[in-house]
Structure 1
């Protein structure tokens, strides 16, 4: 039984009516595409090998994909509308509809062979960026594709991740005479898309981190508008809130103020941005936005932007109406449904309304495209709103590139402020909702290999990584020659571990959930944060469970085991190895998003050369009361990517608990004063310092061969 994806009724009807069309296309095209059918596989390893090879075969055609030309086969209705060579965006309604149709056709294939055949046909005949997005979604949601992995998109579409100079120089140097050991790409300036005259350039290492850009794209693949998943709207809220918390943390370390929400749409936007990225297959790149541009509501449709509004309607006016309707729903604490009835506003349906997923309570009233997506569109076309100059959209148009742009964070701060308005209607947490008197968290320490004097101290640094982009699906390059490799710089940290000492004093609980968060202690002017301000800066570091025993036990938890991060970096080379051996890269199951997770290299904030102080917060809660169903687990990636398939989110607590609800807006308590009001024995804090050490050689993980499960868990 296939995992369910819930699509619009129109798409389902199209699929039912056109199944014969697909069957005929498949029958006509199989011979031309030389698809080898699975007829003699005798064991699971052979099946894995076959499926993984077939998947890689679709992604690595013998000839590079020509984004401009199609092979002119008859495609089913609703497919092939977005021209090849145009940019695809999940924020555009017409693009969403076609992507949903393609995904449904891929999902409806009766077996893996037919799936691969349809995928191959679509690859050569529809918009390539739309196709790659839909192919990723389908692989993740087919039961017969469990364990099949796709190489990261930054190796398949490098032009959307690496600046022009990197790719140009890496390609040129790969063609020089020499051995395959050539790995020199451009020695990337960390501020390559701007210079030090722009204060925002200090955050380029974070915004333009390849793993971070990949995570944002992968999140939208795993949690798209076309899906109905458990707590999906809440996950949309929490994921972007956590991104903002980490971004503001990095800004404070860089001597900048926290980001301001983009609330006033008629005022100039101070931040400019030059993406310096080329389009795929040499097509147009992304436009530059000069500083002090102003949003314009007079957006006009064009070939890649079929807007669902009458010509002449001002989009800013429409968007203000949507914003006001959502604000009114929050004030009344009720959403109005299409039939006129109402339902209570909660964090989940609020997220669905703002994102305009197919589970939105009332798309006609609160937005067909949604408050969130309209902001991306307007900001993408801010330099040419009516299309008179045929300029390309900006970085905000694309989930692979949008979080590179400083305005992404201003827009999402505005969106987060809408969520905060709803959270302010909820009562503050009481002692009974925080304290768990059956356990005492006696001590917590963070340790590295530097010894006891460095307890509760973390170290970050910049390092170089080499990434092979030879398999880019658009490259016309002699694969028998030297590989095309780019050199990239990114933030990383020394490995560390938590030592958590727990004493069970009473009760019969057998397991506890361990929740770990951190937040900077001081604001822009060096004053200790008020808790009501600081709570929006607490970012999750880990969440897991431990087995409780009577008496006192010290548990060890290694940083590389954090459930926040993606546990496997499935590079092209690793996927090819899996295809050859038939051995899966990991034990990823159908209810996980295998490659989705916060980038491991950004788990620890940068800190400062002098040492930036943070509040470390560790909390124990009753695991049996926390979990949504018996057997639930905190698996890798679940906190910021959700569950795959029909999985139920394992933790019943609100996402971000206990920092998601405000205290009195007039309160002047700091963090410790807030905690002391509960007298909770299940909570412990420490002050942690993070030192940044500049550029250096990568540090090996001394704990790499150790697992937390072997240390008392």
Structure 2
């Protein structure tokens, strides 16, 4: 929950007040010690494909010995295990790393352990400096990023945007090629193909797949699937909740982890569908294992790894019928089907564990994702990861020809591929089967006695495309660090955005009470123009906001701005700007603020709304007020964590909402009158218009 704006009521109105505390914004000014550590951490991410250009860090790494400092780690055994693996030989520098290659993942986990179990910052930092020039750069960046997100002494540091650490994984290879040309030619570069220079900065236009020539319908929404913010959200979510991390081993609590996996992926699918509708595309179907020619779209990613290898493409209609892994995957899915039908799963010792209790959805989610917290990973496997590997490596299923990992085999790139949504659609049907076995919510479970939503007013909803700049420093090589500071190269991409909007909710209550407001957006009509039934529409309801407030007895008016949405995060500060801010703060020229609630994981604020259509597209806007159980929250600060509904609170405590994720749309709806007659709920039709930046008088450079 970010701070809600509350109308100061006139005499007839009682004011609603915001939780928690009303006066705390969770920000503090960083001191010199914090700033130096922040800068040191940022430097470790600079040009990871090159040896460390920061001499001080390189010297620290050369002079440090893990063997001589075993006492400086809380788990010396883990350090010894890493050293054994390191001496045996790890993935060489310059080779491609993917977490879906088990051998290389295990090596990265051993490296993570050394980072994670360092007793203090000094040991952690020296260990990172040691590893920076000794291990594969992909493994290093992955292990360091996850460790920085999990360590208590790193939780307030800002990591550089993942799309600027490895721009190769987010931008088409022609952009990277032009960045190389600019870097090599410097001031003698001849600006062609719309590359232009402003001051000391070169701007390279970055397009999406199908920009020049659309071959497949899915390319109409490549601006969504290839959006750097959407893919960063997916990458950071899996860093916050790494599937290989066992909670007991690392002594952390990933509260409702499996349920959060289910809900986040379900919301991603619903949001994807709203974008398809906005572009006149039909609903997608789940793939079939046994089709001789699948309906999975082809995909040409146009991406290139830093070592020069191209990401493999996939032709239209690929079949995996003859892939021997398919039988293994199908067997895992069959076991999960059986568990859902039976209402229990088998534990590691053969004991029956019920799926009918409240935590059943989380047990199922852990099982399908295949986390190390799964009740029986050996038996139920990892359907989510295996499906991606089977389709991602279809061209070389036996790993004989050293075909590079596909986009499906990285969390940073998977959402670019239309196949991801077709594959996950099948997984989502498993969760739907499970939810169908849950009883429909009763009227009493949906209503809030004594509380009525009188009305909702919403400003006009408008989307448009505007410029977004991405720093390409890490895309090019330099001889010394000063060379990189002389030439500033940026990719400029058009990204979807929306005009900020405000909505007002008038609530009448017969009592003073702390309450939760839940806001959703869903489609009104399907592809054919038929109005959705409520039960069908609920499958595509996207959560726009969730926040708490203190109601007073009488009439309460809440005013909420889209910028306050609890599901989103703002655009990340660019790498180069982040460095400048830290340097200026160290020099005492400005203040650097640390926000304890700002998350790396989060849905992009600019993509809160689907594109809509030029002439307007009708959606359903839903507001619900429910009770809020303050006793279920271990720390009220967690309500202010950005993107809390989608990203939870990580290992930091209990998910601050006692209701099922997705409530009230997570179960089958048979009694529509429960929703339309419940006084604490309100539906409204809203229209989303898509305009050009010029129509809105917004200046953009092309």
TM-score (norm 1): 0.81
Confirm whether residue 133 of structure 1 aligns to residue 145 of structure 2: no
Partner of 2:524: 521
Partner of 2:6: none
Deviation for aligned residue 1:73:
9.3
Change (3 A) 1:495 1:212: same
Report the 3-state secondary structure (helix = DSSP H, G, I; strand = E; otherwise coil) of the residue aligned with 2:484. coil
1:165 and 1:186 in contact (8 A); partners too: no
Partner of 2:15: none
CA distance in 2, matches of 1:662, 1:365: 30
Structure 1's unaligned 5+ residue stretches are 1-42, 299-313, 448-456, 702-713
2:582 and 2:592 in contact (8 A); partners too: no
Change (3 A) 1:649 1:265: farther
String of CA shifts for 1:651-675, please: whole Å, max 9, x gaps.
Answer: 11111111111134xx8x6xxx562
CA distance in 2, matches of 1:166, 1:187: 7
Partner of 2:416: 404
Deviation for aligned residue 1:186:
3.8
Deviation for aligned residue 1:192:
4.3
Structure 2's unaligned 5+ residue stretches are 1-28, 54-60, 67-81, 190-196, 248-253
Partner of 2:549: 546
Partner of 1:688: 686
Alignment of 1:194-205 (within 5 A): 195-205=213-223
2:287 and 2:423 in contact (8 A); partners too: yes
1:261 and 1:413 in contact (8 A); partners too: yes
Confirm whether residue 214 of structure 1 aligns to residue 232 of structure 2: yes
Alignment of 1:394-473 (within 5 A): 394-447=406-459, 457-472=460-475
Change (3 A) 1:353 1:698: farther
Confirm whether residue 292 of structure 1 aligns to residue 297 of structure 2: no
Report the 3-state secondary structure (helix = DSSP H, G, I; strand = E; otherwise coil) of the residue aligned with 1:484. strand
Report the 3-state secondary structure (helix = DSSP H, G, I; strand = E; otherwise coil) of the residue aligned with 1:445. strand
Alignment of 1:524-603 (within 5 A): 524-567=527-570, 569-580=572-583, 581=585, 586-589=593-596, 594-603=599-608
2:30 and 2:594 in contact (8 A); partners too: no
Change (3 A) 1:92 1:235: farther
2:47 and 2:475 in contact (8 A); partners too: no
CA distance in 1, matches of 2:635, 2:148: 28
Alignment of 1:610-621 (within 5 A): 610-621=615-626
Deviation for aligned residue 1:221:
0.8
CA distance in 2, matches of 1:541, 1:234: 19
Deviation for aligned residue 1:78:
3.2
Partner of 2:115: 106
Partner of 1:301: none
Deviation for aligned residue 1:397:
0.8
Q: Which has the higher contact order (CA 8 A, sep 6+)?
A: 2
Change (3 A) 1:162 1:630: closer
CA distance in 1, matches of 2:543, 2:388: 26
Q: Greater CA deviation, 165-174 or 351-360?
A: 165-174
Partner of 1:120: 129
Report the 3-state secondary structure (helix = DSSP H, G, I; strand = E; otherwise coil) of the residue aligned with 1:557. strand
Report the 3-state secondary structure (helix = DSSP H, G, I; strand = E; otherwise coil) of the residue aligned with 1:385. coil
CA distance in 2, matches of 1:422, 1:467: 42
Deviation for aligned residue 1:358:
0.8
Change (3 A) 1:54 1:195: same
CA distance in 2, matches of 1:479, 1:76: 34
CA distance in 2, matches of 1:190, 1:316: 32
CA distance in 1, matches of 2:639, 2:130: 39
Deviation for aligned residue 1:187:
3.1
CA distance in 2, matches of 1:435, 1:193: 48
TM-score (norm 2): 0.83
Deviation for aligned residue 1:137:
1.1
CA distance in 1, matches of 2:50, 2:130: 15
2:332 and 2:380 in contact (8 A); partners too: yes
2:47 and 2:474 in contact (8 A); partners too: no
- Paired residue for 1:332, among 330, 338, 342? 342
1:157 and 1:474 in contact (8 A); partners too: no
Q: Greater CA deviation, 178-187 or 388-397?
A: 178-187
